[in-house]
C-alpha cells in the first residue's frame, strides 16, 4: 500500500489546475484505493509529481543563489545519520590521561613500543572450499609476515598454544558458510583479546573492476578511520598491530579500515602522485566488510571466556543513530 496521505494541492488561486498535474481531493489518501494495481499506479504518479516539485524548488534556489552572488547565504548542511549520531559517553579524548595510561599498559603496548614484530597465522574453518582458500591467500599478500595454514580437524584450543610456542603474535580464523567466507576471528597472542566479526561483501581480486597489478612485498601504510569510542579504540589497535610499525612508503600501498555506522570497510589501494594536487589511486583487493559481534578477554575460549562486549541486537539496536565503535 501507499503512504498515509499524499494529497495533491489544487492550483494556487483556486482556478483550473495546471496541465499535467495530478489532482487529489484535499482529504484523499492513496491507501484508500482498494484496487491494488490502481493504487500502485496512483502512488507512482504522486511520487513523480513530488520529484518534479523538488527539482523545480532546487532550480529556483540555484537561480536565487546565482542572482545574489557573494551575498548568498551559506548552504545548509544536509542531515545524515552520522552527523545526527547520539553522543556516546565512552568517546575517547586524545588528551585523556586515563586513556594514555591504558594504552601504555594494554596487550598491544609491546607492539606500539616496538618490542614485538607482528607474525600472523591465517587459518580457516575445517576443510575450506575454493573461495575461502583464495581469500586467505590474498589476505596473506596484504598482511606482511603472515602464514596460511589449512586446518584439518584441529581444535583452536590446540592451535593457540602451538602458535604461542612459535612466536606468532596474532591468529586470524576465516569461517565460511555454504562455501562463502562469512566470519573472521582475530585473536591477539599470547594474552588476547579476541574479536569475532561477521564478514560480508567479500570481493576477491579478480572480481574488482579496474584493479591494479598484484601487490608488492613492501610494508603498507595503514589508515584507521572513525574508531572514536573506547571499544572502537581497542578494535583499531587490534587492526594496527597486524601490520609492521614502519611502513615502506616506496611501495605506495595503503590498507584502510574505515568505520561507518559500526560497519568496518576494508580496502587495499596503491597510489601515485600525478602532480602536487592530483593523486591517482588503484584498488588492489581483496575487499570486505566486518561487523563486530563480540570482544572477549584472553584468547579464544567458547565455554569459559569472559566477554568485554557482546552485540545484543534487541537491546542495542533500538536507535538508528546509536553506534558503538
| Per-position pLDDT tens, the chain of length 325 | 445 555 544 444 555 555 556 666 677 788 888 899 999 998 999 899 999 999 999 999 889 888 888 888 888 888 888 777 787 777 877 777 777 778 787 888 888 888 889 999 999 888 887 889 999 999 999 999 999 988 887 888 888 899 999 999 999 999 998 888 999 999 998 887 999 999 999 999 999 888 878 888 899 999 999 898 888 888 999 999 999 988 899 999 999 999 998 899 999 999 998 888 899 999 997 999 999 999 988 777 766 677 888 888 778 777 888 888 8
Question: Domain containing 160: what range?
Answer: 95-317
Rama region for 191: left / alpha / beta (φ>0; ψ in -120 to 50; rest) = alpha
With beta carbons less than 8 A apart as the criterion, state whether 197 and 173 touch: no
**Does the residue 18 lie in any domain?**
no
Domain tally for the chain? 1
**Does the residue 118 lie in any domain?**
yes
**Does the residue 219 lie in any domain?**
yes
**Does the residue 14 lie in any domain?**
no
The CATH number linked to 218 is: 3.40.50.10480
**Does the residue 258 lie in any domain?**
yes
pTM, two decimals, is 0.75
With beta carbons less than 8 A apart as the criterion, state whether 174 and 186 touch: no
**Does the residue 287 lie in any domain?**
yes
Cell of 139: 589476505
**Does the residue 99 lie in any domain?**
yes
**Does the residue 34 lie in any domain?**
no
Residues 6+ apart with CB under 8 A from 286: 135, 138, 139, 142, 202, 203, 204, 205, 208, 268
Amino acid at each position: 500500500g501507499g503512504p498515509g496521505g499524499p494529497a495533491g494541492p489544487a492550483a494556487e488561486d483556486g482556478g483550473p489546475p495546471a496541465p499535467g498535474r495530478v489532482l487529489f481531493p484535499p482529504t484523499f489518501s492513496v491507501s484508500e484505493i482498494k484496487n491494488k494495481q490502481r493504487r500502485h499506479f496512483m502512488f507512482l504518479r504522486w511520487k513523480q509529481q513530488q520529484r518534479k516539485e523538488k527539482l523545480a524548488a532546487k532550480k529556483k534556489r540555484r537561480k536565487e543563489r546565482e542572482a545574489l552572488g557573494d551575498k548568498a547565504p551559506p548552504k545548509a548542511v544536509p542531515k545524515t545519520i552520522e552527523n545526527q549520531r547520539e553522543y556516546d559517553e565512552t568517546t575517547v579524548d586524545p588528551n585523556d590521561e586515563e586513556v594514555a595510561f591504558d594504552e601504555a599498559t594494554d596487550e598491544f603496548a609491546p607492539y606500539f613500543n616496538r618490542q614485538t614484530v607482528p607474525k600472523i597465522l591465517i587459518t580457516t574453518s575445517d576443510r575450506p572450499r575454493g573461495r575461502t582458500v583464495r581469500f586467505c591467500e590474498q589476505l596473506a599478500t596484504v598482511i606482511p609476515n603472515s602464514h596460511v595454514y589449512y586446518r584439518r580437524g584441529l581444535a583452536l584450543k590446540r592451535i593457540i598454544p602451538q602458535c604461542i610456542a612459535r612466536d606468532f603474535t596474532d591468529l586470524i580464523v576465516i569461517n565460511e558458510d555454504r562455501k562463502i567466507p562469512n566470519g573472521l576471528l582475530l585473536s591477539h597472542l599470547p594474552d588476547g583479546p579476541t574479536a569475532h566479526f561477521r564478514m560480508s561483501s567479500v570481493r576477491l581480486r579478480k572480481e574488482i573492476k579496474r584493479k591494479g597489478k598484484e601487490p608488492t612485498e613492501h610494508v603498507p601504510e595503514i589508515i584507521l578511520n572513525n574508531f572514536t569510542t573506547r571499544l572502537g579504540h581497542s578494535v583499531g589497535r587490534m587492526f594496527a598491530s597486524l601490520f609492521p610499525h614502519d611502513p615502506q612508503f616506496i611501495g605506495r600501498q595503503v590498507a584502510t579500515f574505515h568505520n561507518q555506522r559500526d560497519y568496518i570497510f576494508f580496502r587495499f589501494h596503491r597510489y601515485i602522485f600525478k602532480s602536487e594536487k592530483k593523486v591517482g589511486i588503484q584498488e588492489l583487493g581483496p575487499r570486505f566488510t566486518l561487523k563486530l559481534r563480540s570482544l572477549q578477554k584472553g584468547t579464544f575460549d567458547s565455554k569459559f571466556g569472559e566477554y568485554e562486549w557482546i552485540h545484543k541486537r534487541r537491546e542495542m539496536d533500538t536507535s538508528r543513530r546509536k553506534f558503538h565503535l
